[in-house]
Amino acid sequence: MDAASRTWPPPTPSPPPFSSRPRVVGPPPPPPPPSDPPPLPPPHHHHHHRRRHRHSKKPKPQPQPQPQPPPPPLPPQQQQQEPAAGAGAGADFSALPPELVHRALAAAGASDVAAASRACRAWRDALRPLREAAALHARGRRVKHAAGAAAAAGSEGRKAERQRALGLFQRAARLGSAAAMVDAGLMCWEEGRRDEAVGCYQKAAELGHPVGMCNLGVSYLEADPPKAEEAVRWFYPAAAAGNARAQYNLGLCLQNGKGIKRNQREAAKWYLRAAEGGNVRAMYNISLCYNYGEGFSQDQVRSKRWLQLAADCGHKKALYECGIKLCAAGDKVRSLMYLELATRRGEAAASHMRDVILESLSLVNAQRALSDADKWRPRALYTRR
């Protein structure tokens, strides 16, 4: 190489970058496998703290609640009253007027009045007359029952005992007992004092007693002339309250169109509710509805079931019809028993058939049927009042 082609002075190599690590001279390290992720750089703690402090906000001061002034003291008469049992927050049932509490529970039973008396002192004071009335009413019922038992035994003084029971009922009625008003009205009705009885029923009905409303409706039907529209007006609330007798009478009015437009379907519905409530006459009527398809679709199985239940409860026409059906089925012994029971209850059509079957049976079978009739007792059902 000649001198013209050389550079002078020769270039010096640039120094390597500064590093605190020792430099190792050798072949370069192999690259990491592709499956491993590249290593992350170390976190910069100083920058992180600086950013967090930069974006942090100072908490705002909360407003301090202002102190409320204490409520004014209650009057002494309100401080002595106890809160009603089960009352919600802010409800003070003890502040109700005593007349309202008395009227609201006038048609309730003795157990309900006693339970309400334990609610608070104000209610206990307001219901004191009703508690006294309940005791008088219970005593009057015992006296009336004893008078009936004495009459069955043939003892004297039955009339005096009945008057004593009536006096107890009237005392309880003056104290506000609706149940006592109903019993006093019943005794007056039995003695022929119908105007006085209607007055008792009217007072009990205005207090919402279901039996009082039903009896008032019956008295309007039996008035001279009958007041059918007034009767229906009182039958409806009594029937809605669950009184089975009112439901039956309402069904009769709907079936015959007394005081209301005739509606056989509605009549059948009320008959069914009354029958389910234990009314024997409604059981017989609903059996006819199912038998002839009046109000309901025709169903002989249900008709037979309700007819049998009415007969078991002592309905004279149901007993007579069951006897006829048993005779047609060939069971003359049971047929004679049912016909004998129907005759004893005053079913005139049953006596002729009873005599015919009695002549066709042997002496042993006839005596057995009559003995079964003597031992028979009507089925006891719970009746809604």
Is the pLDDT at 34 greater than 80, yes or no? Answer: no
CA distances to 331, 344, 363 from 369, in Å: 11, 14, 10
What percentage of the chain reaches a pLDDT higher than 70?
73
What pLDDT sits at residue 310? 97
What pLDDT sits at residue 38? 53
- Give the mean model confidence (pLDDT) for residues 324-333: 95
Name the percent of the chain in helix, strand, coil, to the closest 5. Answer: 60, 0, 40
Cα 350 from Cα 323, distance rounded (Å): 9
Could you tell me the pLDDT band of residue 18, with boundaries at 50, 70 and 90? very low
Q: Please indicate whether the domains covering 96-208 and 224-313 agree at the CATH topology level.
A: yes
247 closest CA partner among 209, 208, 222, 275 = 275
Is the pLDDT at 171 greater than 80, yes or no? Answer: yes
Q: The domain at 96-208 falls in which architecture?
A: Alpha Horseshoe (1.25)
- Give the mean model confidence (pLDDT) for residues 81-107: 69
Q: Output the DSSP codes for 208-219.
A: T-HHHHHHHHHH
pTM score of the predicted model: 0.73
Could you tell me the pLDDT band of residue 126, with boundaries at 50, 70 and 90? confident
User: Would you say 283 and 350 are in contact if contact means Cβ atoms under 8 Å apart?
Assistant: no
Cα 257 from Cα 245, distance rounded (Å): 18
Is the pLDDT at 42 greater than 50, yes or no? Answer: yes
Could you tell me the pLDDT band of residue 22, with boundaries at 50, 70 and 90? very low
- Give the mean model confidence (pLDDT) for residues 340-354: 95
What percentage of the chain reaches a pLDDT higher than 90?
61
The burial of 59, by beta-carbon neighbours within 10 Å (0-12 exposed, 13-18 middle, 19 or more buried), is given as exposed
Of 16-20, 124-128, 272-276, minimum mean pLDDT range? 16-20
Is the pLDDT at 156 greater than 60, yes or no? Answer: yes
Could you tell me the pLDDT band of residue 108, with boundaries at 50, 70 and 90? confident
Question: pLDDT by residue (tens digit) across 49-91?
Answer: 455 555 555 556 666 656 666 655 555 444 444 444 444 445 5
Is the pLDDT at 20 greater than 50, yes or no? Answer: no
Is the pLDDT at 23 greater than 70, yes or no? Answer: no
Among 4-18, 134-148, 233-247, 371-385, the range with the most confident prediction by mean pLDDT is: 233-247
Sign, Cα dihedral of 98, 100, 102, 108: negative
- Give the mean model confidence (pLDDT) for residues 256-270: 96
Annotated domain spans of the chain? 96-208, 224-313, 324-385
Question: pLDDT by residue (tens digit) across 196-252?
Answer: 999 999 999 999 999 999 999 999 999 999 999 999 999 999 999 999 999 999 999
Tokens of 117: 């008396």
Could you tell me the pLDDT band of residue 24, with boundaries at 50, 70 and 90? very low
141 closest CA partner among 177, 195, 191, 102 = 177
Between these two residues, 318 and 379, which has the higher pLDDT value? 318
What pLDDT sits at residue 107? 87
385 closest CA partner among 246, 277, 271, 243 = 243
What pLDDT sits at residue 2? 46
Q: For the chain, what's the residue count?
A: 385
Output the average pLDDT for the chain.
83
Q: The domain at 224-313 falls in which architecture?
A: Alpha Horseshoe (1.25)
Between these two residues, 1 and 248, which has the higher pLDDT value? 248
Cα 318 from Cα 315, distance rounded (Å): 5
Is the pLDDT at 364 greater than 70, yes or no? Answer: yes
